Amino acid sequence: MIKKTWYDWIFPVYFILGDNYLKWRKDTINLINLGPNEVIIDLCSGTGRNVELLSQRIPSSSHIIGVDTSLSMQKFCRKKFRTSQNIHFLKKSANDLSKEDISQLVPIEDIGCVICTLGLSVIPKWREAFFNAFSLLKTGGMFILFDIHSKQSNFACKCIKCFAKADLSRETWIPLQEASTDFHFIKYSTHFFDIVIAHGIKT
């Protein structure tokens, strides 16, 4: 029997709540410039909110691979994008993702971009997951993230921690800053927490 993850249980509510981060998600995706015949990995792809926007932005010869540990999320995405030839999903932990996994899905070697939105605040061993995904990038490839961050644990943060199992105290951009060149960081402050968008290049 397949063990259910927390996101398998909350999937219906997560789906119904909709996307409260669309503006920042779009801002993040607009920073991506993927070349032809490249792969972009959407780490912690969830219900495929990034995938939908990415599919309108990447060259048709490139491929999107959504990686997530939740079977419910994956099943939903596979059905939603079943007619798209260049969109694939893989049920796998970000910590264990390998080049072999990618090469079994697509006949392309170059991973030009990894995007991770609202993921590094959720993955238990998030630093290891980041370094693993970063190592898969081609030289010159981009890692881009957006996440929420708060130094205080106010009511909103407690609710997010409880529902999404997200640790908002994590400074998720720091490993990227240390590992990459041409690092950029943008912070938007809201009443309850900060929204952080960061990206850097693997050299």
The DSSP secondary structure of 124-152, one letter per residue, reads TTHHHHHHHHHHHSPTT-EEEEEEEE-SS
14/183 with CB nearer ligand SAM: 14
Q: Determine contact, residues 141/111, Cβ cutoff 8 Å.
A: yes
36/96 with CB nearer ligand SAM: 96
179 binds ligand SAM (CB under 6 A): no
Which of 24, 40, 64, 68 touches ligand SAM (CB under 6 A)? 68
Q: How far is the CB of 166 from ligand SAM (least distance, A)?
A: 6
Residue 195's SS3 state is: strand
Q: Determine contact, residues 114/35, Cβ cutoff 8 Å.
A: no
28 binds ligand SAM (CB under 6 A): no
Q: How far is the CB of 70 from ligand SAM (least distance, A)?
A: 4
Q: What is the C-alpha to C-alpha distance for residues 97 and 119, in angstroms, rounded to an integer? A: 15
- Cα–Cα separations (whole angstroms), residue 8 to 23, 35, 74: 26, 34, 10
Q: What is the C-alpha to C-alpha distance for residues 42 and 68, in angstroms, rounded to an integer? A: 9
**Segment 119-158, which members bind ligand SAM (CB under 6 A)?**
119, 122-123, 129
Q: Determine contact, residues 102/62, Cβ cutoff 8 Å.
A: no
Task: Please identify, among the stretches 52-60, 62-70, 131-139, 171-179, the one whose residues bind ligand SAM according to the rule CB under 6 A.
Answer: 62-70
Q: How many residues bind ligand SAM (CB under 6 A)?
A: 22
Q: Which residues bind ligand SAM (CB under 6 A)?
A: 5, 7, 44-46, 49-50, 67-70, 73, 93-95, 117-119, 122-123, 129, 164
